[in-house]
């Protein structure tokens, strides 16, 4: 009897508990239902807008009227961009992917043509006679993709955590790509689109209880863009990011902490969900770029790597170490256009890049041929032109060295250094070479005086009029594409053989083409970092450009096309940038604000 009573009590208790859980679930799912509805309504509008455009075209509408339709359709897309990109990445590419040819390694000869808004934009805004057939094809494709996002969207499983995560990633997308004109290079409607994007953010945040702070910060950012939305060139992007978006991002972070909304665990992401903002110290998770099992915090391993880095026994004739070409006092470059090859008195094929922040790249080498530092090191040591070393011989000579073996024993348990261990140690050392505390970084972290007025102006040019930021993405300033930073873009610039602009000749290095043999990769090179460029002259994969001014002039005249090269596949727009003398100076000054060649020294090895 007594037992039964207790059972009853327990059952009631369980029922009450589950009811309570159910109640909080109701409140939670209310937010999710609202966001799902928000998505549905806007996806419907997007579809309607695209169908309208299709109808208009069929009715014989003029280009100007289609341009209006285009802008309207994009606005609906911008309202749900955060969620399409987050949950339907493939659809996002089909709707608003970069206007670049891709192909799968398995079908190198079959180009995958880009589709979506960015391709349509070129057609609708073209100056030549308007190509109706092309427009029809692109609009049909767009309609198909938008419909797919609508249908698949019905199955998205929204949660508080993934909603906030998607919004935050979209803020990163906005500041790194959106406001640079990355995805609307011709219409230049980026700032009005930023307003739409922020309005949508505010509306979604409004579904969250006690979200007043976040909403107010969003509204302030929105007001700021709105005030300047007609002045693409003059927009103060530095202030917008540091003064509005970063603080908003921090508020979202704080809200999640306060309301105990978990941060999404995303091991496949370079920028984790649980950071305050994109420029927070340590925002980039280095382990994302390292192979499984790499030991990132192993000091002994990195210390051993440092010894090896300076050890000439790694080369065939014992006359070259890594540091011979990657000279620490020169930001790990050699200051030469091309270094000497070990074979036949030739020069090496490529310029020696800096190693500071090299570990923060999804691929290595200017043709992107390798993923991990460990493998890159194999390539260099075994390369007959660079070091020509043979691992068996290296192992033997290292094993005889008592001093070396002491450092080795601190890192490894083996008796003799193995090839694998040499690579691991060197890679571990290169991973300690980071420099993310430049004047620019400190400015973005809130230190308003860290950059001079000239540098701030240079940054705004870099991200706006001069279009640099559309390829050199913040915060690494490489081609690693935000907000996931997993894919490294390569571009065809048309780099000349030398800095001779009177008789320019095109460089013949095939670049990434050599790796997969895909035609559109011919002459394309990894978008190298701009960080530390002030101290790493000469520039480009062949070291052809001697000064930053020569480099800016190269871009200013439209790259290789501007030099008169016939380059069908040049991905750098061939237009003149019309930079003034002062503007060029400011960009140079800004590049100076990206110098940090000291932070790595603070790591005690």
Partner 1 sequence: MRLNIKMSAVIAFLLLKGYSAFTQEVKIDCKTHVFKTIPEALAYKDCAQKLSMRVAKIEKVSDKIGALTAITYLDLKSNSLRELPASIGALSKLEQVILSENHLKGLPESIEGWLALRFIQLDNNSLSDLPLGMFKLKNLNTLDLSWNNFSSLNPGVGKLKQLRILDLNHNGLLVLPKEIGKLRGLEEMDLSFNKLKAIPEEMVRMSKLKRLALANNEIEQLPANIGKLKSLKSIIVTNNRLKTLPESISILKELESLYLSYNQIEKLPGSIYKMSHLRNLVLVGNPISAAEISALKKALPNTNIVF
Q: Which of 253, 262, 388 is nearest to 319 (CA)?
A: 388
- The site map against partner 1 for 280-319 (x = CB under 8 A) is -----------xxx--------------------------
For CA atoms 232, 234, 240, 241, give the dihedral sign: positive
Cβ atoms of residues 450 and 331 within 8 Å:
no
- The site map against ligand HEC for 368-397 (x = CB under 6 A) is -----x--xx--xx----xx----------
Closest contact distance (angstroms) between CB of 194 and partner 1 is 26
Interface with ligand HEC, residue 521, by CB under 6 A: no
Contact pick of 78, 87, 431, 521 for partner 1 (by CB under 8 A):
87
Buried b (16+ CB within 10 A) or exposed e, 302-324: bbbbbbbbebebbbbeeebbbbb
Cβ atoms of residues 595 and 535 within 8 Å:
yes
Closest contact distance (angstroms) between CB of 490 and ligand HEC is 6
Interface with partner 1, residue 229, by CB under 8 A: no
- The site map against ligand HEC for 445-484 (x = CB under 6 A) is ---------------------xxx-xxx------------
For residue 291, the partner it binds in ligand HEC, partner 1, none, with Cβ less than 5 to 8 A by kind, is partner 1
Instruction: State the Cα–Cα distance between residues 98 and 489, nearest whole angstrom.
Output: 11
For residue 520, the partner it binds in ligand HEC, partner 1, none, with Cβ less than 5 to 8 A by kind, is none
359 CB burial (10 A radius; 0-12, 13-18, 19+): buried
Q: Which of 364, 594, 332 is nearest to 477 (CA)?
A: 594
Closest contact distance (angstroms) between CB of 295 and partner 1 is 12
The torsion of the CA quartet 497, 499, 502, 505, rounded to 10 degrees, works out to: 10
Nearer to ligand HEC, 86 or 182 (CB): 182
Listed in order, strand segments (DSSP E) in 355-489 are: none
Instruction: State the Cα–Cα distance between residues 529 and 298, nearest whole angstrom.
Output: 27
Interface with ligand HEC, residue 426, by CB under 6 A: yes
Nearer to ligand HEC, 57 or 430 (CB): 430
Instruction: State the Cα–Cα distance between residues 486 and 289, nearest whole angstrom.
Output: 8
Nearer to partner 1, 18 or 582 (CB): 18
Nearer to partner 1, 234 or 291 (CB): 291
Interface with ligand HEC, residue 567, by CB under 6 A: no
Q: Any long-range contacts for 228-232 (C-beta under 8 Å, 24+ apart)?
A: 228/191, 229/191, 229/192, 229/194, 229/195, 230/191, 231/191, 232/181, 232/188, 232/190, 232/191, 232/464, 232/465
Residues in Cβ contact with 277 at an 8 Å cutoff, skipping those fewer than 6 apart: 245, 246, 249, 250, 253, 283
Instruction: State the Cα–Cα distance between residues 380 and 350, nearest whole angstrom.
Output: 13
Q: Which of 547, 575, 560 is nearest to 501 (CA)?
A: 560
Scanning 214-222, 318-326, 370-378, 550-558 for contacts with partner 1 by CB under 8 A, the matching segment is 370-378
For residue 471, the partner it binds in partner 1, ligand HEC, none, with Cβ less than 5 to 8 A by kind, is ligand HEC
Cβ atoms of residues 461 and 586 within 8 Å:
yes
Instruction: State the Cα–Cα distance between residues 101 and 429, nearest whole angstrom.
Output: 37
Contact pick of 36, 242, 251, 430 for ligand HEC (by CB under 6 A):
430
Nearer to partner 1, 7 or 55 (CB): 7
Closest contact distance (angstroms) between CB of 6 and partner 1 is 5
For residue 372, the partner it binds in ligand HEC, partner 1, none, with Cβ less than 5 to 8 A by kind, is partner 1
Rg (C-alpha) for the chain, rounded Å, is 27
Contact pick of 379, 385, 454, 553 for partner 1 (by CB under 8 A):
379
Cβ atoms of residues 548 and 503 within 8 Å:
no
Closest contact distance (angstroms) between CB of 447 and ligand HEC is 23
Cβ atoms of residues 254 and 177 within 8 Å:
no
For residue 370, the partner it binds in ligand HEC, partner 1, none, with Cβ less than 5 to 8 A by kind, is partner 1
Interface with partner 1, residue 152, by CB under 8 A: yes
Instruction: State the Cα–Cα distance between residues 434 and 601, nearest whole angstrom.
Output: 9
Instruction: State the Cα–Cα distance between residues 579 and 549, nearest whole angstrom.
Output: 12
Nearer to partner 1, 347 or 369 (CB): 369
For residue 14, the partner it binds in partner 1, ligand HEC, none, with Cβ less than 5 to 8 A by kind, is partner 1
Interface with ligand HEC, residue 365, by CB under 6 A: yes
Interface with ligand HEC, residue 325, by CB under 6 A: yes
User: Can you give the binding site for ligand HEC, defined by CB under 6 A?
Assistant: 314, 320, 322, 324-326, 339, 348, 350, 352-353, 355, 358, 361, 364-367, 373, 376-377, 380-381, 386-387, 426, 430, 466-468, 470-472, 491, 493, 495, 525, 527-528, 530, 533, 536, 539-541, 551-552, 555, 571-572, 587
User: Can you give the binding site for partner 1, defined by CB under 8 A?
Assistant: 3, 6-7, 10-11, 14, 87-91, 104-106, 148, 152, 155, 157, 265, 267-268, 291-293, 369-372, 374-375, 378-379, 382, 420, 486, 515
């Amino acid at each position: 009897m007594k037992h039964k009573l207790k059972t009853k009590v327990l059952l009631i208790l369980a029922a009450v508990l589950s009811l309570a859980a159910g109640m909080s679930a109701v409140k939670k799912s209310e937010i999710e239902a609202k966001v799902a509805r928000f998505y549905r309504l806007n996806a419907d509008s997007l579809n309607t807008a695209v169908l309208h455009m299709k109808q208009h075209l069929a009715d014989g509408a003029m280009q100007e009227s289609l341009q209006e339709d285009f802008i309207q359709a994009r606005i609906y897309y911008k309202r749900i961009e955060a969620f399409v990109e987050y949950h339907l990445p493939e659809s996002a590419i089909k709707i608003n992917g970069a206007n670049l040819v891709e192909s799968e390694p398995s079908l190198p000869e079959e180009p995958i043509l880009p589709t979506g808004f960015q391709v349509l934009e070129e057609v609708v805004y073209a100056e030549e006679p308007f190509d109706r057939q092309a427009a029809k094809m692109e609009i049909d494709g767009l309609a198909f993709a938008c419909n797919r996002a609508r249908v698949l969207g019905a199955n998205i499983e929204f949660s508080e955590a993934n909603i906030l995560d998607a919004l935050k990633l979209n803020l990163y997308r906005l500041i790194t790509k959106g406001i640079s004109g990355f995805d609307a290079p011709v219409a230049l409607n980026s700032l009005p689109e930023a307003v739409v994007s922020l309005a949508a953010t505010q509306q979604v945040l409004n579904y969250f209880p006690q979200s007043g702070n976040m909403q107010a910060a969003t509204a302030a950012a929105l007001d700021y863009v709105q005030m300047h939305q007609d002045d693409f060139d003059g927009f103060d992007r530095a202030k917008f990011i540091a003064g509005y978006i970063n603080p908003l991002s921090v508020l979202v972070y704080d809200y999640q902490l306060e309301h105990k909304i978990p941060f999404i665990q995303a091991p496949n992401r370079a920028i984790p969900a649980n950071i305050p903002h994109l420029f927070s110290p340590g925002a980039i998770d280095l382990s994302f770029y390292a192979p499984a099992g790499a030991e990132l915090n192993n000091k002994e391993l990195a210390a051993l790597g440092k010894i090896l880095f300076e050890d000439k026994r790694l080369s065939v004739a014992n006359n070259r170490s890594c540091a011979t070409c990657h000279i620490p006092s020169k930001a790990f470059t050699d200051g030469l256009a091309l270094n000497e090859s070990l074979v036949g008195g030739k020069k090496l094929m490529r310029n020696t890049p800096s190693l500071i922040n090299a570990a923060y790249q999804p691929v290595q080498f200017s043709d992107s041929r390798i993923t991990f530092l460990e493998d890159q090191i194999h390539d260099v040591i075994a390369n007959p032109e660079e070091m020509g070393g043979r691992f068996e011989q290296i192992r033997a000579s290292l094993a005889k060295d008592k001093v070396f073996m002491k450092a080795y024993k601190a890192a490894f348990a083996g008796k003799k250094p193995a090839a694998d261990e040499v690579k691991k140690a060197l890679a571990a050392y290169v991973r300690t070479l980071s420099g993310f505390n430049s004047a620019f970084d400190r400015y973005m972290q809130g230190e308003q005086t860290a950059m001079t007025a000239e540098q701030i102006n240079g940054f705004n040019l870099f991200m706006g009029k001069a279009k640099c930021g559309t390829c050199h993405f913040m915060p690494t300033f490489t081609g690693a594409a935000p907000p996931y930073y997993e894919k490294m873009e390569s571009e065809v610039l048309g780099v000349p053989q030398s800095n001779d602009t009177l008789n320019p000749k095109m460089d013949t290095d095939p670049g990434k083409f050599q790796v997969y043999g895909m035609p559109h990769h011919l002459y394309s090179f990894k978008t190298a970092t701009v960080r530390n460029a002030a101290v790493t002259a000469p520039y480009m994969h062949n070291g052809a450009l001697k000064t930053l001014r020569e480099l800016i002039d190269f871009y200013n005249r439209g790259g290789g096309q501007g030099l008169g090269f016939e380059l069908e596949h040049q991905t750098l727009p061939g237009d003149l940038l019309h930079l003034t003398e002062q503007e060029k100076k400011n960009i140079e000054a800004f590049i100076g604000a990206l110098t940090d060649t000291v932070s790595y020294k603070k790591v005690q090895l």
